[in-house]
Structure 1
């Protein structure tokens, strides 16, 4: 039987295992030195001053929105084509997500569609680097500055990417990353919020730790037991075990992104002249290729056929407002027609650094019946 080929997966080597074992043999399993080292490494990669590690990308979004003061009565502009967490974290804050349509060719948030959705209640604009392609952050920054609202980058797909030579993570007021196992770098589960604003970083650090102003390691250093809860926070802390794995994984990120781009180019070449249409790259970007997404007719039939042949295709995403939870809140079909049309056509193909040319050929042959 042919091996199953997933759409994405983690790669763990002996260096990663040794890094984790080193923490397990040490004194700190959480709130210890590996957390700070991981934060420093991600901040350097993103070209920013501050990074706040948490236990998921969703937690990072919640921390970011909270730090920006988003709350009841506020509205936050988000793209329709994203994972639900982008909007869910807005709801966690008691605010209302306002869904905006996406560009036809790459499914990134459409800057021209945002302006009509901005009201006096708008507190932030959130761009999502769908599939690893950076948004038009210059256009989004211009809109945010014009209307005096915050700009957030949901960069959970795009760590290691860049726009006009500027690294992803440095393009918004706060950017967030995910370290889920199918992402570029994994900590098992985990996330990070990065920013150049010291006050925002401090608020996120407090929020991830129950709203308490110091953690156990800080109190250990000062020989103090005393702490204060100044905010209603959450336990969004990440462990040193996870961060040790993340530090080790980061050392491979650049070559993994290079491999992802090589594989994507093989797909691109193979689909020329077929009915399978890859998403378009726009502008001077470094694509991170978390996902390789194509558009095709008879998507549902193709999905079943490829899954039957052991090829783990997927669909990213159902427009968020079509989920039952949001439908019950009054969001209706027809709100974002470009995203809805794309949803019926998109297919995510296998793409991860452990794949080889023969795997690409297998997927292509199964998809276009060569």
Structure 2
């Protein structure tokens, strides 16, 4: 498998769907279905594929807990496979060893917006009649040999949660070209319930607050406050206590509400600009970490990533995150374990400690840097100086060049 360091000079404005020139949307020609959350979209796809008790579904051992939970809620068994250290994505070379006669689908996650090796995975899955479900919760706008992620498998799902390029507060989108899968998704969508009046109102208020007040400098305060409010039932959070404990919440099968649909339509018009901004941010981070001597992501040859977050490996993750909190620097913790955000009790979801050693090691070392539209040259320069000077970040590498001020590197991409 060939890898190249990212040199992403292509702007999303230059990208067009090869089958729909000028569209610029990842799923213009697909049948599309809208749900309350991305995990519900995944659950709907599993149901549409007829996956249930007695079936196995392969899941990368470096994902959010809601992914294997959706598999379990469908009645199937999640089977975990380790990741590639360079790309943070499912390792196709280990795939054959986890397949069983009951394997019905493989969930191909494009972590952080980095494309997984879809062709290598399909070469194993397709001859066996195993379905490919693309997990595009981190990726909207990434190209794989000229094709949009989300159009390469039998079905795919996207997330429009708070942190995503297109955000409706919460939300999930399922897409497919397959008429039979579309028929199953349509039937599932009919069975879903509408968000309650209280949920709609709460989400509306949250979206307005997020748009008006969220800034990188208040990231830690905002994160802690929202998590507290979610535990108190005053905020519509991403994860419920039931899900984190392995239980299917009441009202899980829920569709997207009118407010979310209106926001989605409005924000799709800004997708190109949002993704173009993320590309520039990733380019700036790449130069910074190369100069500092840190390890960042490697991308597959022939892919053009739009990165949701920019992952970096550090020597002491807890120390780095603690320093970032004190310095009011927005740095993320994804993922803290193979089944984020769980740090214990993974066995209840069928994960055996040591089953995915690379994912476990990466979880102990990876942090991620923001690429959203609230990040400007000054923010990136500040993050660069933090990484350059904070104890616990450096892994002992030697700089290959004389240091250039972080602000100068950042300004080059945001001038």
Indicate whether the TM-score tops 0.5: yes
- Displacement, 1:49? 2.9
Once residues 336 and 49 of structure 1 are traced to their aligned partners in structure 2, the CA distance between those partners, rounded to angstroms, is 34
Q: 2:148 aligns with which of 151, 157, 167?
A: 167
The structural deviation recorded for 1:330 is 5.1
Match of 2:331 among 310, 313, 316: 313
Q: 1:292, 1:351 within 8 Å by CA — same for their partners in 2? A: yes
In the alignment, the residues of structure 1 paired with residue 168 and residue 158 of structure 2 have an alpha-carbon distance, to the nearest angstrom, of 12
Question: What is the aligned residue count?
Answer: 310
Which residue, 277, 280, 293 being the options, matches 2:311? 293
2:86 aligns to what?
105
Q: Provide, for residues 50-83 of structure 1, a one-character-per-residue CA deviation record: whole Å limited to 9, x for no partner.
A: 1111111011010011111110111110101111
1:68-87 superposed matches below 5 A: 68-87=49-68
8 Å Cα contact 2:60/2:108 also seen in 1: yes
User: Which sections of structure 1, spanning at least 5 residues, go unmatched?
Assistant: 1-41, 213-232
Gaps of at least 5 residues in structure 2 are 1-22, 194-250, 390-404, 406-415
Q: 2:120 aligned with 1:139, yes or no?
A: yes
Q: What are the superposed Cα offsets for residues 78-130 of structure 1, whole Å, 9 maximum, x if unpaired?
A: 10111112211101111110110000111110001111111101110111000
| Pairing partner for 1:351 from 348, 371, 374 | 371
TM-score, normalisation: structure 1 = 0.79
Deviation at 1:274, TM superposition (A): 2.5
Of 318, 335, 338, the residue aligned with 2:358 is: 338
Contact 2:80 2:351 in 1 (8 A): no
2:105 aligned counterpart, secondary structure: strand
The 2-side partners of 1:340 and 1:45 are apart by 32
Question: Alignment partner of 2:45: what SS?
Answer: helix
Mapped pair 1:205 → 2:224 = no
| Alpha-carbon distance, 1:329 to partner | 5.0
Preserved contact between residue 316 and residue 365 of structure 2 (Cα < 8 Å): yes
Map of 2:39 onto structure 1: 58
Q: TM-score, normalised by structure 2?
A: 0.71
Deviation string, structure 1 residues 305-363 (Cα, Å, up to 9, x no partner): 01111013121111029653432355321101111111111001222122111100101
- In structure 2, the CA distance between the partners of 1:330 and 1:161, relative to structure 1 (3 Å rule), is closer
- In structure 2, do the counterparts of structure 1 residues 325 and 67 end up closer, same or farther at CA, with 3 Å as the change threshold? farther
- Separation in 2, partners of 1:61, 1:346: 26
Give me the whole-angstrom Cα distance separating, in 1, the residues matched to 2:24 and 2:65: 26
**Residue 47 of structure 1: how far off its partner (Å):** 4.9
SS of alignment partner, residue 307 of structure 1: helix
CA contact (8 A) 2:158 2:174 kept: yes
Residues 313 and 350 of structure 1 are in contact (CA less than 8 Å); yes or no, is this contact kept in structure 2?
yes
